[in-house]
Amino acid sequence: MPAFVHPIASKLPRVGTTIFTVMSRLAAEHNAINLSQGFPDFDCAPELRALFTKYVNAGVNQYPPMAGIMPLREAITDKVQALYGATYDPEHEVTVVPGATYGIFTAIATLVHPGDEVLLFEPAYDSYAPAVEVAGGCPVYVQLRYPDYSIDWEAVQRAITPKTRMIVINTPNNPTATVLSGEDLRMLENVLRATDIVVVSDEVYEHIVFDGHRHQSVASFPGLAERSFVVSSFGKTYHVTGWKTGYVLAPRELMAEFRKVHQFNAFVTNSPVQYALAEYMQDRDAYLTLAAFYQKKRDFFLEGVKASRFQPLPSRGTFFQNLCYDRISDENDSDLAIRLTRERGVASIPVSVFYREPPAHRVLRFCFAKSEDTLARGAEILCRL
Ligand code: PMP
Ligand code: GLN
């Protein structure tokens, strides 16, 4: 094809291919153990697979309703009521979407106008800033305090200006593997009280919180719920990242605006997947046992790297374990992650990609949503460094 000769006014001039695609491709090229991109290397429950084929074979193959099928919306609002004590109307306040990334992007596109400021915490999951920039908004960053990645609420307060339209929070957090406490959410509630700032709360790892702690959802805090889009994903919860299905909760007025945008983008979400999920959600154990399932994997991986020179940072939620490599190398994390993939056969994610400028600390992120065999082989390599 001849080259496109006209100048392209890129909306994302500084953005390349996502680190997840880059590292997974490199891992495949070098036949490395892939602990980089966050997805399970094991399959979902056979019952869930069977439900999907049941609905496909039953002919559930046409457009579902724009906001999602009612049985799934009801299953979601029932769950949120039971776990977080929050009442959402399935008719007007929940929308099923093709993945959490889409939900976040759409919430941002719905409300952010050119010149608006959106508060993000750094390190930030990599889809947030580009979504803000495509909408013409301006990301404004507040640093999480290393090494515990805690939030300085006074810094948040200082970052707010009359142009601040939105704040994006993420708990449990990718890439830091930390969780927000009830106290954090009360601070957020206070900071936002006198403003009309909207919250996008990315809670895709809501069911993966360790050591007996509970996930704190903005849905449980009335002063936050009334101004929040809560975004979650079935991909993490049911080991089906490839199904790309999630949901968004918001008060009726916010959701009405969200649906105006959604109806002209994806419009709907895959119908047989929705029916399968609605039926599967009746079994509450599947998500209530997820934290214990992943805690065991976290502990297995930690035991595996105990003899290594890496220093683990606390992993309180998600399926990621961060390891500091100060004692191993003074290379930057991207170079090290690439070299370990090529030369040692284990792939990870350099945490600096979630910052605008590389931070002083040296950390690699490892995904432990893997079989014990994979984790043991990966850990063995890490112990030899
Ligand atoms: N937010 C965070 C913090 C994530 O880690 C991910 C994906 N791993 C997503 C959003 C996107 O989820 P989905 O695959 O449903 O788009
Ligand atoms: N969220 C996943 C991770 O952090 C990857 C999702 C993606 O590849 N876009 O690894």
Domains of the chain, residue spans: 19-44+288-383, 46-286
Round to whole Å and give the CA distance between 189 and 350.
Answer: 33
Instruction: Please compute the mean of the pLDDT values over residues 160-177 and round it to a whole number.
Output: 98
Q: Which atom of ligand 1 is found nearest the CA of 202?
A: 1
**Structure tokens of 269?**
């979400």
pTM for the model stands at 0.97
pLDDT digits (tens, 9 = 90+) for 90-119: 999 999 999 999 999 999 999 999 999 999
Q: Which residue lies with its CA nearest to atom 8 of ligand 1?
A: 38
**Residue whose CA lies nearest to ligand 2 atom number 2:** 38
Is residue 1 over pLDDT 90? no
CATH class for domain 19-44+288-383?
A: alpha beta
The overall average pLDDT reported for the chain is 97
Both tokens assigned to 329: 């190398």
Contact 316, 211 (CB under 8 A): yes
Determine what percent of the chain is predicted with pLDDT higher than 90: 95
Alpha carbons within 13 A on the beta-carbon side of 214: 8
Ranges of beta strands (E only) in the chain are: 33-34, 94-97, 117-122, 138-143, 164-170, 198-202, 228-233, 246-249, 311-312, 320-324, 346-347, 349-350, 363-367
The pLDDT value given to residue 352: 96
246 CB within 6 A, ligand 2: no
- At residue 3, does pLDDT exceed 90? no
pLDDT for res 42: 98
Q: Which CATH architecture has domain 46-286?
A: 3-Layer(aba) Sandwich (3.40)
Per DSSP, helices labelled H in 164-289 are 182-192, 222-225, 234-237, 252-262, 271-280, 285-288
- 163 touches 140 (CB < 8 A): no
CA of 222 to the centre of ligand 2 (A): 30
The DSSP H or E segment spanning 77 is helix 70-84
Question: How many degrees, rounded to 5, is the angle at CA 185 between CA 302 and CA 190?
Answer: 155
Q: What is the band of 4 on the pLDDT scale with cuts at 50, 70, 90?
A: confident
Q: Is the pLDDT of residue 196 over 80?
A: yes
